[in-house]
Every structure is written in C-alpha cells, then in structure tokens.
Amino acid sequence: MSYATVGKENSTDLHLYYEDQGKGDAVILVHGYPLNGASWEKQTAALIAAGKRVITYDRRGFGKSSQPASGYDYDTFAADLHALVGHLKLESFSLAGFSMGGGEVVRYMGKYGTKQVKRAAILGGVPPYLLKAPDNAEGVDKSVFDGIEAAIKKDRYAFFTEFFKNFYNADKLLGSRVSEEVLRIGWNTAAFSSPAASLACVATWYTDFRKDVEKIGVPTLVIHGDADRIVPFEASGARTAKLIKGAELVVIKDGPHNFAWTHAEETNGHLVRFFH
C-alpha cells in the first residue's frame, strides 16, 4: 500500500493513503464525507479508460489514512493535498472534488495557486459559503449544522444511517439507481472513520471559500444535482459557477447529493469530456 507522510502528532507520523493508477495526464480525485478514495470507483474506471492517470487518496481521519485528534480544517486539508502532490513530484495535474472535496480543490488553488493545475471540477461541492450570515443570505441556517453535530455526538452510527438515505435520496432512487448494498458499504466506510473527524468536519462545511473562488483562473466544471438534500444547489453549485469566471455549470436532473454514483454514466461523460 502507498502512503505519503503529511505531518506528525506527538510521536506518530501522519500518513495519507493513496492509489495511483493508469497512464497519461494526472487527475487527482478528492472524496466526500464520510467516505474514502475508493468511493470514486466508477469515475476512476472511466477516466483510466479515457487515458488518464488517476490518483485517489483518503482524507486524514478517513479510510486507511492516519486518524489524528486534530487538523480537521481546510488549510490543513489543502496542505495535506499539497504534500501528496510533492510526494508524487507532480508538475501538472487536474483536480476534481466531490462535496467536502470541492472545498479542498478550491482552498488548494486559493492557497497554493494554479500554476500546476490544468483544470478543476467541483461536484456537489460545499463552496462558496454555506452558512447564512448578514452578507450571505443564501446560506443555510447554523441551527442545521448544530443539529447534525448533536446527532453525531449522541450516536454517530445512527446518524450515518439517516445521512446515507438523504445522500442518495433513497426514498426515490432505492432499487433503481442505488442498492441497499451501496448504502451499506457507505455506512461501513463511515463507521470506520475517526470519531473526532466525523464530528469536526461538520463545522468545515460552512468554511467561507469566497476569496479562494475569486482566485481560480483555470477552466472549471461545476456539476450539481438539482435534488441535492445535503448541499443545496442554489446555495452552493449555482453560486460557485457564477463566481468563477468562465465556469461551465452542469445540472444533473433529479440528481441526489452523490449523483456520481446514481447518475454515473452521465457524470463520467462530462468528466471525460472536460478533462479530455
């Protein structure tokens, strides 16, 4: 298994688990909460088939990566991604981030620039700013996030069960576009995440990315489901696409939060075309 060292906590080195497959131009895929890099399996296969080198990794606190007690903020997440890029000695690459991963993509470019980045895709991403505030009326009320944190503190396993129902709009799509087994593997993956990470990441969802978004000067694709119950389209994808000059917006009709699974063929077609 392959690991990149991204820091240290007390006497323990912190490692990111990653997979590096295929040949061609590199595309780094950044997963969503509370999954891991393997959740990109449908996109990984399609991009490799299209002649791309595909790199996936597990965010700190998730999957096979280290599970420290701290470091769950977007500056650290972006630094972890930067460390992985350095470990792999990548001189040019594209980025794609789903949900929370959209935050890494945006913060990475805001913090480290776009000299090495060819293209960027944001799928169901949390940017530009999800929290309702005096200067952000389109955001989500903080009480929603407080409720999620309370549910995780009480019983994170029960929370994950309900979360994945809305992650895939199971009441509408179960049996047609998503199976019980997919919900189960999502739950199993989430259950093995760090308890500290599964709670701490909630507050990162409403990080203010507006200044980062302003710095994006590479071709950008924004894809979002119009039936997203986790990250509302109007508060996120619709606004991100408007704020990034020249960004292309694709709306997946009836797409839930994880449309990359339920509408994989449509999603993959757009990604392969965009990353050509």
Helix ranges (H only) for 39-179 are 41-49, 74-88, 100-112, 142-167, 170-173
* Residue (of 137, 163, 133, 138) closest to 148 by Cα position: 163
Report how far residue 57's alpha carbon sits from residue 64's, in angstroms, rounded to the nearest whole number: 9
CA separation, residue 245 to residues 5, 26, 102, 248 (Å)? 35, 24, 17, 9
- Whose CA is closest to 264, among 102, 52, 54, 43? 43
Q: Show the 3-state SS of 161-227.
A: HHHHHHHCCHHHHECCCECHHHHHHHHHHHHCCCHHHHHHHHHHCCCCCHHHHHCCCCCEEEEEECC
Polymer length in residues for the chain: 276
Which tokens belong to 105?
A: 């993509």
Q: At residue 64, what is the residue type?
A: K
What is the distance between the alpha carbons of residues 216 and 106, in angstroms, rounded to a whole number? 8
CB 101 within 8 A of CB 125: yes
Catalytic residues: 99, 228, 257
